[in-house]
Each structure stands twice: as C-alpha cells, then as structure tokens.
Structure 1
Amino acid sequence: MMRWLLLLARWPLPLLHALGWVGGWVVWLLSPPYRRRWREHTRLAGLRGWPRWASVGAAGQQVAELPRLWFGPPVRVGWEGAAHIEAALAQGRGVLFLTPHLGCFEVTPRAYAERFGRAGAPITVLYRPARHAGLDAVLRQARQRPGMAAAPTSLAGVRQLMHALRRGEAVGLLPDQVPPEGLGVWAPFFGRPAYTMTLAARLAQQPGVQVLLAWGQRLPWGRGYVVHVQPWSQVMDEPLAADAALAAAQINRAMERLIARAPAQYLWGYARYKSPRPLG
C-alpha cells in the first residue's frame, strides 16, 4: 500500500483530481447503499441541480488527493481570514478550529502547520484510528509532521487536546464526525437528529479559547486550495451555550451554514445519521 501511495504522491494535482472525479462516479454507480445514503442526505438538505451532482465527483477527488497531501510535494494554498488566527495567537490564546466534512478538510491543518506551526504555534488534530494496523500506521505517519500532531479518539487523545489548548496552541477537529456511544447527544442536522459530539463544545468552553470555523475550498482544475477562516461570531449570532445539548445543536447549525457556501464539496455520502459505535 505504501508503495502505491508514494507513487500517487508524485502525480500532479490536476491529474489526481481528474482520476478522483471518475472514481467518485464509479463508486456511486456500483454501490447502491452509498447511492441511497447520498440521495437521502442531499434531499434532506434541499440540494438540487449541479451542486448536487457535482458532489459525487468531488467525493472522489477528496480521496484521490490524499496521497499528494500526505506524502507529496507542497500544494498551492491561499488564505482568507488568516488575520483571525494571527490575532488569537498574538494574545497567547488557544485556538479551536471546527471544520465540517467540506472541501479538503485534510489541507486545513497542514496549511496551518506550514504557516504557523513551524513558527512555534503547533496544531493537534483529532483522528479516528483505523481498525487495520497497517492502515493505521500509514495514517499516523501522514498526520505527524513539523508543527502538527495527531490525537486519537480516546480519553488520552482528549487530554492531549486539552493540554494543547492550555498551552495556547491550536486544536482541530471535525464536529460532524459521529462519536462513540456516550460521548455525544442527538441534535438536529439538516432537520434530522444526528448523534453529535459534545467534545467540541467542551473544548470551546475552556478559558480563553478562540473558536474559529475553517474549511479548505478545493479550486477547480487542480489549481490548489483556499483555507477560509471565520470567528464564531461571524457565522452565528449567538454565543455558544453552556448546556451540552444546546451547544451541539448550535455547532450543527454553524456547520450547515458553512456547508451552504459550497454544498458541491460536502461529503454527502458520509454516514452522518448512523447509530454510534460502543465506546472502546
């Protein structure tokens, strides 16, 4: 597997995106369960027309670009809203990035690590360990780089995130990822109850933490990415609630508003409404 990943990592990004677009459609056509889930989720969100169909190919691009991001030469990344990060770091505050499964969510922490982590403000990202030992080793290697560390979805990983914020560093996670049983609450997401993590709210409520919403826009024709960053107050007109269930619902609404800006790049086939797996 590693040999193939390293080979693909040298491919030009436009070629990988073209390959991924085709692959996304092949998977959509050959997998009835995936197709049903995609249809149900896009219908819930009221997505129609070109953005709906374009999301099929974009899902394949998200997979195809991973070898280049993990093991290849740097890709072109622009920024919109980096001043919000600079302001938080200048005050010595911990920064919590909340990113949905939108666009290239792998590029966001990497771009941060390249620009800010190497300068002494590293980022720790939450990730779910793979069940296959070989694949998990590849994922850990891909997510450990200068200015960037990875924390597993475990109690030890949560403590790692907490310590990073207290040191005034950055933390990134995907709040629309389904957590294990007992670590979330049921909250609306596009009008349907979805099991939603409470960890994002717990981290956001740590003293002095600055909450920033971020996502990596995939530019057409393999021209790179743009990382968009906004503070919570620019997306939501209410502060984050202290109650876990209310805060989870607020975070879901904030993710919906980000997704509405580029719905063709959201991972609609993700099993967002599945029942949580047992803890451990």
Structure 2
Amino acid sequence: MLTLFRLVSAWPLALLHAVGAALGWLSWLLSPTYRRRFAQNAGLAGYDFGQVRAAVGHAGRMVAETPRLWFGPPVPMQWAGTEAVDAAYAARRGIVFLTPHMGCFEITAQGLAERYHAEYGPITVLYRPARQPALSEVIETARRREGLETAPTTLAGVRQMIKALRAGRAVGLLPDQVPPDGMGQWASFFGQPAYTMTLAAKLALQTGATPLLVWGERLPRGQGFRLRFQPLAEPLADDLETAVEQINHEMEGLIRQCPQQYLWGYGRYKQPRKL
C-alpha cells in the first residue's frame, strides 16, 4: 500500500481532485446508507440536497488528495486570519487548534508545522490509529515530518498533548469526531443530540491554552488550499459542560461558512463505541 501511495503522490493535484470527485459520486450512487445519512445530516442543519450536493465530490477529493499531501511535493497554500495565530503563539500559553470534518484538515497541521515550528516548536495532532497494519504503516510513515508530532487517542496521547500545551506549543484535533463511550457528553449539534468529545475543552481549560478555529478551504481547479483561522466568538466558558456546547456551536458556525465542503456523510449522530 505504501508503494501505491507514493506512486499516486506524483499526480497533479488537479488530476487527483478530478478523480476524487468522480469516486465521491460513485460512492454516493452505490451506497443507499451513505445517501440517507448524507441527506439526514444536511437536513438537520437546514440544507436540502441541492444546496450541498458539491460536498459529495469534495468527500472524494479529500481521499484522493491524501497521497499527494503525505508523500508528494508541496502544494500551494494561502493564509487568512493569521493575526490571531501570531498573537496566540507569541503569548506562549499554548494553542488548541479546532477544526471540523470540513475541507482539507490534513493541510492545516502541515501548514502550521511548516510556518511556525522553527520558532515555536512542533504542533501535536490527535489521531486514531488505523486497525489495518498496512494502512497504519502508511500513516505513521507519512506523518513523520519536521515540526509535526502525533498523539494517539489513548491516555498516553492525552498526556502528550497536555505536556505540549504546558510547554507553550500547539495541538490540533477534530472536536466533531465521535469519541468512545465515557470520553464525551451528549451536546446539541445543529439542534440534535450528538455524543461530543470533552477533550478539546478540557485541554484548553486545564492548561490555559488559547483555543483557535481553523479549516483548510479546498480551492477550485487544483489551485491548492486556503488556511482560514479565527478566534472563538466568545471566551471559552469555565464550566466544562457549557464549554463543550460552545465548541459545538463554533463548529456549526465554521460549517455554515462553506457547507459544500463538510463531510455530511460522517456518522456524527451515531452511538459511541465501547472501549
């Protein structure tokens, strides 16, 4: 599998996105379960299929662009809202970067690592280890890069992230990812109860780190990506339960900026798996 990823990584980004869009629509056509969940999730947010149909192609683009991002030459990146990032790094209290399953979340960590690690140290990103050994090897190889460290979704990984924040460095995670049972709380997401991780809020509250929002906009015609940053609308609440609800609301706001690039097929409202 590693050989295949390296081979595909040489393809132009525009070609990968074209192939990915076709694969996204093929998956949508072949899976009634996917179509149903896509429509249900989008409907809960107030969108009909016509408004978010582009998200079908973007889901495929996300998969197809991954080999290029992991093993290929650099891709063009634009930056928006870096004033908030620069100020948070300069404060040296640590940063918790939060992004939903939207656009290209892989590029956000890579971009931050490339731009800031020399002065402020590496960014540590949370990831769920792959169950397939071959895919696990690919992921571990791909993410061994300067300025980027990974933390597994284990107690050891949480300790690693806390240590990084207390050293004034940055961490990144997807707070709309459904955590295992016992590691989250039920909170509103587009008006529907969704099992939501408490880790993002805990990291910020326990360490005093600055939470910042980020998402990687996928530009048309293979032109690259635009990394968009912004602070929370209001300071994070001191109460954990309220803070979790607040982060969900912030994720909703980001998604509404570009619902055509959100993964509406993600099982956001599923029951949490047992540990």
Q: TM bucket by the smaller chain?
A: over 0.9
CA distance in 2, matches of 1:194, 1:230: 24
Alpha-carbon distance, 1:121 to partner:
2.2
* CA deviation profile, 1:213-242 (whole Å, cap 9, x unmatched): 00000001110000001111xxx2x33223
Alpha-carbon distance, 1:49 to partner:
5.7
Distance 1:275 1:201, change over 3 A: same
Runs of 4 or more off by more than 6 Å in structure 1? none
1:27 aligns with 2:27: yes
1:245 aligns with 2:227: no
CA distance in 2, matches of 1:212, 1:40: 29
CA distance in 1, matches of 2:51, 2:145: 34
Alpha-carbon distance, 1:141 to partner:
1.7
* CA deviation profile, 1:67-101 (whole Å, cap 9, x unmatched): 00011000000100112221122222201100001
Query: What is the TM-score normalised by the length of structure 1?
Result: 0.95
CA distance in 2, matches of 1:243, 1:86: 27
1:108 partner amino acid: T
1:265 aligns with 2:258: no
Question: What residue is the counterpart of 1:179 in the other structure?
Answer: 179
CA distance in 2, matches of 1:159, 1:252: 23
CA distance in 2, matches of 1:36, 1:113: 37
1:22 partner amino acid: A
For residue 206 of structure 2, give the secondary structure of its aligned residue in structure 1: coil
CA distance in 1, matches of 2:85, 2:68: 26
Contact 1:120 1:147 in 2 (8 A): no
Contact 2:42 2:49 in 1 (8 A): no
Comparing 175-184 with 85-94, which one deviates more in the overlay? 85-94
Question: What residue is the counterpart of 2:222 in the other structure?
Answer: 222
Any residues of structure 2 matched to 1:68-217 within 5 Å, and which?
68-217=68-217
2:165 partner amino acid: L
Unaligned runs of 5+ in 1: none
Comparing 127-136 with 215-224, which one deviates more in the overlay? 127-136
- Quote the sequence identity (%): 57
Query: What is the TM-score normalised by the length of structure 2?
Result: 0.97
Alpha-carbon distance, 1:120 to partner:
4.0
Number of residue pairs matched by the alignment: 275
* CA deviation profile, 1:79-128 (whole Å, cap 9, x unmatched): 00112221122222201100001100110000001111133421000000
2:270 partner amino acid: K
1:21 partner amino acid: A
Contact 2:162 2:207 in 1 (8 A): no
Contact 1:96 1:171 in 2 (8 A): yes
